[in-house]
Amino acid sequence: MSEKETLLLGQVLDIHANPFEAPPEAAARYERRGAVLLRDGRIAVTGAADALRAAHPRANIIDHGDGLILPGFVDAHAHYPQTAIIASWGKRLIDWLNSYTFPEEMRFGDPGYAAEIAARYLDLLLAHGTTSVASFCTIHPDSVEAFFEAAAARNMAVAAGKTCMDRNAPDGLRDDAQSAYDQSKALLERWHGVGRAIYAITPRFSPTSTPEQLQALGALWSEHPECPMQTHLSEQTDEVEWVRELYPCKKDYLDTYEANGLLGPGAMFGHAIWLTDDERARLRASGAALIHCPTSNTFIGSGLFDTARAMSEGQIVGLATDTGGGSNFSMLHTMAAAYEIGQLTGHALHPAQLLWLATEGSARSMRASDRIGTLRDGTAADLVVLDLASTPAIAQRVDGAETIWEAVFPTIMMGDDRAISAVYVAGVPQSGAPELGADSGHSREVNPLIADSLGL
């Protein structure tokens, strides 16, 4: 037996199947008193606490009491350089870029500033239970270096890339087709697959790239199809019209990417709200992912993404904060917004569906669900432990819960960083987690009806 075995005790909720394809309750396994065995930074097995304690008597024990153990959250679309401008007032997409984003991104030509914000951003993610993210950087290679270096220092699995723009951006934030290719290739060769880093080829979106630049990045992707490609698609109606003016010979917005080799498995399209039926069909057939950014879509007035429709079509869908157009770093807050948007589009998403989107759904979008976003044996021990009674308002709601879903839903809707009891990255406890060997069981009793409701 490895001396590095650690046994985490608590409530364990394993959403082992896609809850959009099976009844949500049937897609999950719940242990009222469960355990997750960690070995050398990976999940070895999950199950009932008593059985795993008996089978592994020499494992270090960390008892999270009534804490709910889940995969760490995965944020499938964000802009770490917008950390300092999150929650800026009153703009729509194009004005947002010109008034807030571009002036802030100019500052990332300073490697020191890039390093400062990268560290701040990743620490904020961990404080909110997010252990992996796909982030845009800026056009500056140093911004990419800073992000990957900060992630490596925390051993986080992240995807990121140099944002490429060669038009409709200010002086100092434009590259060109050749430099976008050359610099992206150099960064890819330096970082992709090093440690837990994933390089993402990253044109910002068609309005800020000429056809020549999109073609160059499509060529780079064809040379490295193992990498994801991330960009934006059909976020706002005026943006869609702008693309039509810039690309009059293309049949639609998606065609600006498709014609340049930027559509296929591993493509991650942020927002994807205002799609035609033909675009939807081509996206599904291609194996690309649609990334739902609910707080951003409401905060800057973009529109309502129909999650239930996309899932029923067989689309790959991830969930994301879209920092800083999104108004919060928290995936709990993002799940709450996704639920509210679901209500407006006619579908009340089940808690299992929300949690799955924020973990395995986003990991699938990044083509990384074999490594992150689940509790499957052999995957990285990136975990979050939720306190389901983190505030008086939530606690009084949970006191009446009769199922695990009634217990976790108030935290999805009202929880914040206070609900993050512990975070593990590759099995290593981050801030807020107790020391190895500690017994930190909480005194609250778990409502036995939660277990009874699932026949446990």
The band of 3, judged by pLDDT with boundaries at 50, 70 and 90, is low
Measured between alpha carbons, how far is 444 from 67 in angstroms, rounded to an integer?
10
Q: Which long-range contacts (CB under 8 A, 24 or more apart) does 217-224 make?
A: 217/164, 217/180, 217/181, 217/184, 217/260, 217/262, 218/260, 218/261, 218/262, 219/181, 219/261, 220/181, 220/184, 220/185, 220/188, 221/261, 221/262, 221/264, 222/261, 223/185, 224/188, 224/192, 224/199
pLDDT of the residue at 145: 98
Please say if the pLDDT value at position 450 is more than 60: no
pLDDT of the residue at 88: 86
Measured between alpha carbons, how far is 384 from 71 in angstroms, rounded to an integer?
6
The band of 95, judged by pLDDT with boundaries at 50, 70 and 90, is confident
pLDDT of the residue at 451: 35
Measured between alpha carbons, how far is 306 from 314 in angstroms, rounded to an integer?
13
Q: Which of 3-12, 179-188, 381-390 bottoms out in mean pLDDT, i.e. has the lowest? A: 3-12
pLDDT of the residue at 159: 98
pLDDT tens track for 279-300 = 999 999 999 999 999 999 999 8
Residue range 300-327: mean pLDDT, rounded = 96
Residue range 51-78: mean pLDDT, rounded = 98
Is residue 214 within 8 Å of residue 263, measured between CB atoms? no
**Topology of domain 73-365, CATH:** TIM Barrel (3.20.20)
Q: Other C-beta atoms within 10 Å of 140: how many?
A: 24
Cα 94 to Cα 139, 238, 242, 251, 272, distances in angstroms: 18, 9, 10, 22, 16
For domain 5-72+381-453, the CATH superfamily is Urease, subunit C, domain 1 (2.30.40.10)
Ranges of each domain in the chain? 5-72+381-453, 73-365
The band of 91, judged by pLDDT with boundaries at 50, 70 and 90, is confident
Number of H helices, E strands in the chain: 18, 17
pLDDT of the residue at 89: 86
pLDDT of the residue at 431: 67
Please say if the pLDDT value at position 447 is more than 80: no
pLDDT tens track for 113-139 = 999 999 999 999 999 999 999 999 999
pLDDT tens track for 218-247 = 999 999 999 999 999 999 999 999 999 999
Q: Other C-beta atoms within 10 Å of 91: how many?
A: 17
More confident site: 324 or 273: 273
Whole-number average pLDDT of the chain? 93
